Structure 1
């Protein structure tokens, strides 16, 4: 780090809170660190916690071989650099006592240290027990619990983040598979949480430590390239810092300037996102200017822009439009010395403290009293808002996706037609904008105008744009919107709406199927009958039953059979021998048993072949059945057969049709009515595919013979709502073949 200019001492912004240097081995050394910012600290309380923790962890060792209690001490030391209150420091010292020691209880901690500290220790203990990296469903549920704990007291998370940071710093002592698991968990959950809590320095270090485990070769490559660049170009950071100080001095601005190389993971992520090699990247250096006042911050910005050429589209004013976690700063990118792009952040000291401490600034102390930093934000606001939103999320995967989206994204600021500011994540679209205002506006969105011009709904919004949403009554969310939006709020609202719309469509479809099924036995599908059937099938109410019926989770036969088991038409065809005078198949030897092949289900009128099979008798196949190919070299097993002329007199034979049907109101009813008018029965309907514009369904028919089948196919093909009708045969290995 390079620090120049100004008379006041200020830690370098990129490693200010990474932990106090030096080893703390005695309680008075830790107390001195706290007294440096809080002279009124309760020394006896901290010393008592030190002794209690040391006794609780006596005889315990970490994977590195060092005494285990070194870990809680390091966590507490790390939190002193955030200038946190006594309760949080004590919690750090005690955070593993209840979990790791059967003799230590939350009740005992409460008795010795008070209810507040016991509550915090219990919260950290519960977070530690959560297996965030477990299977998706468990991971989402555990993450829900983590957010609920955070919503009660964010200090629990601050201790947990410091705990994770120290564990990541010492991760090399774990076995490789454990390193990878913890690194992935840190990258996916804890690093973005740290960033969302405003502690960007911690997020960057957690990401980089995880990167070192997950992709060590890539990290080493970037470090090597930095070394090569320094060798070729010299100390560019020191040179550019001198340039900035000179520009500020010429403008009469007193400030402190710091420069750094960006972390390897930050560089790697940018290389991956842009698809560029290291030497093509320009803004790999970052500089911060800390001023005395807001006026000086804008004057410093002017000095920088007068000295160097600003890169278009890279200026952000987070002072006039702060981020939701309280972050305030001016960001700009300029073409500096040797045409190297450098990123410059400009802010006041108070803003810098919030930028470094994030929500922890709410509990920060200075000179023995709580900090009155005007830029510190309510640390519970975001967590509570998120907690409220996830309570309505049913799908675990959606919950996890929603939270990650809320944590990861940077922000852009857009305006409503009335001039109100709407904060959105980078990459947000007009649909995200609409849902950010109100769910009702999002649902009814049909178009948008950005800065007065009509734009597609998938347009990515930029800072400062004015957005107008065009609405229409009767408009509903489209399934394609899920791929367009980026905010968790919009995704959840769209999925809920689509789910409700699908349910409504399923109920309409189910009502039609139920009507047909009940009419077949001379009954009516009344609401009372449907409610009774739903209770019988343990499905809930009538609408729930219709929804399952419409989505093909149950069949009409099952519904009817639940009420009228004695008269319900069976869905499986009965043996045909009793319905025909004499044998069904002519050409069998006396006493020889025969069974219709389930692969092709031959109909009377079709040419048939029998295949003699040991233990099964003769299996009857249609001459074009794909299964016959397996017996081409076994002609001695083939038996030439024909149908009994009486076999096709009654509608007791089965055929399966695949029908592609337009998703129009009443379309299914027209199809079912037509089949009934043609003298066939529907024994089952299965929806193979459901789209917004068409259905592909399988209809199991009871009919007379192959001639009857052809009449039905031709009649169906003449219907305007039907685009395709195909007879389906299934091969012996389960592969479906369509035969018209």
Structure 2
């Protein structure tokens, strides 16, 4: 562990103007606050924040970041408060500490909910100041270095999986490849211990058998370049164990079939020397077609720049070579952190644009699964490059489509897309883009995102935006149904009601506003009696039976069964009074009631069949219909009007397909009997808003 004077000397070595007294005060503060707390390794707990601060000094970050690293656990794990930190170390440090503070575990949440909530708050803090991300990555790296001290295998694997899925990709996205590689290696050891042991053992064996082969190849490369008059540094290594394992999994090959296990780095004095060196290597050794990548002229989104090529050395061995300048190498290894340190926090827009995309995804996602899925899409995919007609460059995941491209340019462009041209040729919106494609988006202001797009988009930003737009439209449509039903309910009241009565009803029912109430009515979260009572207290008490919605209580007389035998109405056919019905009884189960013409009866060969009939007291059941509506304003409200006019209560409404010019809905309705349901279907078919209606 770094001693106090060692940490301060490290900071002063690259920042002589740093506040030495504040650095000392922060060190003492974290030691005092963590006191006698211990880590799983048995070390004092304060050794962790001190080591994280040491990692920050290696990146030569400003004193506020170093102090934040020292204090990052004090607010959660000790009696320290953000206000106290602000009073002692200033508002900037307090804001950063608050952003990095680990969240308290919420035991009532599922793992996904907890992970999503941690990620949500982390992304918001990161979007305000990227130094939060740098400290968090260093915090996670040090925790991974000591992960083996945790006794619970389940906990070790959970932390390793989170590191592999979230933190390693984030490190890659900001160009911190050293952090990424070490995180992946440590996580790989926990998640795939047998594969880790096998691959590291094979690599060690190759290294001992071949002796200095890596060194001799590096020397050959350096000599070839020196003869061309180039001053370079050349180094070589075996590839990362996790990288080898991933390649084996992707290609479905064994370790012996992986031929390019060795990788070499050539560092030059200038960009011109990079291209000169590339030419020399390609003339000296045969290059492997399709393996050359120019990230110098077209950098990765995280700022990574280098020339990549693969060569066949001595007619047998494949080796990978990366060619870059010394400056590129420094930026490549520590990415955003290196740029921050050397440019006083001024970051290229391209390096932080993806953070804005993550915040957009955060705002659009409404459940844990969706947030985690879309975020992983945004941070962990191979990239391609595509251009607008004016030459603006956008990086996208492999497999991206014109819709993904449109949302990458601007959310509004994606929402209004109706067509696309790739390299001047009209193509379907689901067409995958290739490297270097020029993409032109054809838009219409009257257009809107389509649910069917989710079948082919691959970016988290596009998926989140489409889902949000579809949810908003469906909410508006449900509210429209609710308003129609509300008007029908209001007509049944003994007197006309005004805005005050509606406002009072909203308060009594505890909804935020009128729209929330209409959505609740349209989605059948509340029934007509509740609405009537809220509007005019006492108005629903003496309603005649004909004015009430059908009861959910059903009585069925079953011949040959013991009274009280459990039963349920089948979800596949939704039988209603008036249907001929039959019961299926299986050992250990109750009776399932089907309509006599239900197709699912074919699977009942292992069940006892029982003749059933409806009891005369049965006063309602739930029937299901499918309706195809024309996609134009007012059609959903017209369907709702048909339901209201026929006194049918909507139990559930779901849009199952959205393909212009039709929208298809499945609706569960409380009806009195088969005749009632048949009249509703007939009324729908007679409506100009409905293209087709059938009972399911």
TM-score band by shorter chain is 0.7 to 0.9
1:271 aligns with 2:248: yes
Deviation of the 1:403 alpha carbon: 3.3
1:198 and 1:325 in contact (8 A); partners too: yes
Deviation of the 1:290 alpha carbon: 1.3
Counterpart of 1:295 in structure 2 is 272
Per-residue CA deviation, residues 74-125 of structure 1 (Å, 9 max, x unaligned), is 33333332233344445444545565554x666666666666555555554x
**Aligned partner (choices 111, 117, 125) of residue 141 of structure 1:** 117
Q: Measured at CA, do residues 717 and 343 of structure 1 come closer, stay the same or move farther in structure 2, by a change above 3 Å? A: same
**Aligned partner (choices 407, 410, 414) of residue 435 of structure 1:** 407
2:59 and 2:337 in contact (8 A); partners too: yes
Counterpart of 1:659 in structure 2 is 625
SS in 2 for 1:466: strand
**Aligned partner (choices 465, 469, 472) of residue 493 of structure 1:** 465
Counterpart of 1:729 in structure 2 is none
1:186-197 equivalences in 2 (<5 Å): 186-197=163-174
1:428 and 1:487 in contact (8 A); partners too: yes
Counterpart of 1:4 in structure 2 is none
Counterpart of 1:459 in structure 2 is 431
Counterpart of 1:127 in structure 2 is 102
**Distance in 1 of aligned mates of 2:462 and 2:562:** 62
Deviation of the 1:267 alpha carbon: 2.1
**Aligned partner (choices 375, 379, 403) of residue 407 of structure 1:** 379
Counterpart of 1:3 in structure 2 is none
Q: Measured at CA, do residues 487 and 379 of structure 1 come closer, stay the same or move farther in structure 2, by a change above 3 Å? A: closer
1:450 and 1:468 in contact (8 A); partners too: yes
**Distance in 1 of aligned mates of 2:383 and 2:685:** 56
**Distance in 2 of aligned mates of 1:250 and 1:641:** 97
Which deviates further from its counterpart, 216-225 or 452-461?
452-461
Counterpart of 1:175 in structure 2 is 151
SS in 1 for 2:391: coil
Counterpart of 1:724 in structure 2 is 694
SS in 2 for 1:244: helix
**Aligned partner (choices 149, 171, 192) of residue 215 of structure 1:** 192
Q: Measured at CA, do residues 469 and 112 of structure 1 come closer, stay the same or move farther in structure 2, by a change above 3 Å? A: closer
Deviation of the 1:205 alpha carbon: 0.6
Deviation of the 1:478 alpha carbon: 1.8
Counterpart of 1:250 in structure 2 is 227
**Aligned partner (choices 347, 352, 355) of residue 324 of structure 2:** 347
Which structure ranks higher in relative contact order (CA pairs < 8 Å, sequence separation ≥ 6)?
1
**Aligned partner (choices 630, 652, 655) of residue 690 of structure 1:** 655
1:550 aligns with 2:515: no
**Distance in 2 of aligned mates of 1:113 and 1:518:** 62
**Distance in 2 of aligned mates of 1:375 and 1:309:** 42
SS in 1 for 2:432: coil
Per-residue CA deviation, residues 606-641 of structure 1 (Å, 9 max, x unaligned), is xx969784899xxxx999654597999xxxxx9999
Counterpart of 2:570 in structure 1 is none
**Aligned partner (choices 285, 289, 300) of residue 262 of structure 2:** 285
Deviation of the 1:683 alpha carbon: 4.2
Counterpart of 1:570 in structure 2 is 548
**Distance in 2 of aligned mates of 1:325 and 1:290:** 20
Counterpart of 2:418 in structure 1 is 446
| RMSD, aligned α-carbons | 4.6
1:450 and 1:466 in contact (8 A); partners too: yes
Counterpart of 2:554 in structure 1 is 598
Counterpart of 1:332 in structure 2 is 309
Deviation of the 1:420 alpha carbon: 1.8
Which deviates further from its counterpart, 62-71 or 378-387?
378-387
Deviation of the 1:429 alpha carbon: 1.8
**Distance in 2 of aligned mates of 1:640 and 1:510:** 37
Counterpart of 1:389 in structure 2 is 360
Q: Measured at CA, do residues 199 and 510 of structure 1 come closer, stay the same or move farther in structure 2, by a change above 3 Å? A: same
Q: Please, which runs of 5 or more residues in structure 1 have no aligned partner?
A: 1-23, 365-370, 575-596, 603-607, 633-637, 727-740
SS in 1 for 2:225: helix
2:172 and 2:180 in contact (8 A); partners too: yes
Deviation of the 1:199 alpha carbon: 0.7
**Distance in 2 of aligned mates of 1:57 and 1:437:** 47
**Distance in 1 of aligned mates of 2:335 and 2:681:** 72
Q: Measured at CA, do residues 642 and 475 of structure 1 come closer, stay the same or move farther in structure 2, by a change above 3 Å? A: closer
2:268 and 2:326 in contact (8 A); partners too: yes
1:421 aligns with 2:396: no
TM-score by length of 2: 0.78
**Distance in 2 of aligned mates of 1:85 and 1:118:** 15
Counterpart of 1:85 in structure 2 is 62
1:716 and 1:725 in contact (8 A); partners too: no
Q: Tell me how many residue pairs correspond in the alignment.
A: 645
Per-residue CA deviation, residues 504-555 of structure 1 (Å, 9 max, x unaligned), is 3324444554565566779999999877765554445444444344334344
2:373 and 2:460 in contact (8 A); partners too: yes
SS in 2 for 1:392: helix
Q: Determine which structure has more spread, i.e. the larger CA radius of gyration.
A: 1
Which deviates further from its counterpart, 520-529 or 664-673?
520-529
Q: Measured at CA, do residues 309 and 111 of structure 1 come closer, stay the same or move farther in structure 2, by a change above 3 Å? A: same
Q: Measured at CA, do residues 438 and 688 of structure 1 come closer, stay the same or move farther in structure 2, by a change above 3 Å? A: closer
Q: Measured at CA, do residues 629 and 248 of structure 1 come closer, stay the same or move farther in structure 2, by a change above 3 Å? A: closer
**Distance in 1 of aligned mates of 2:128 and 2:639:** 58
Which deviates further from its counterpart, 381-390 or 655-664?
381-390
Q: Measured at CA, do residues 429 and 340 of structure 1 come closer, stay the same or move farther in structure 2, by a change above 3 Å? A: farther
2:523 and 2:653 in contact (8 A); partners too: no
Q: Measured at CA, do residues 417 and 25 of structure 1 come closer, stay the same or move farther in structure 2, by a change above 3 Å? A: closer
1:76 aligns with 2:53: yes
Deviation of the 1:431 alpha carbon: 0.8
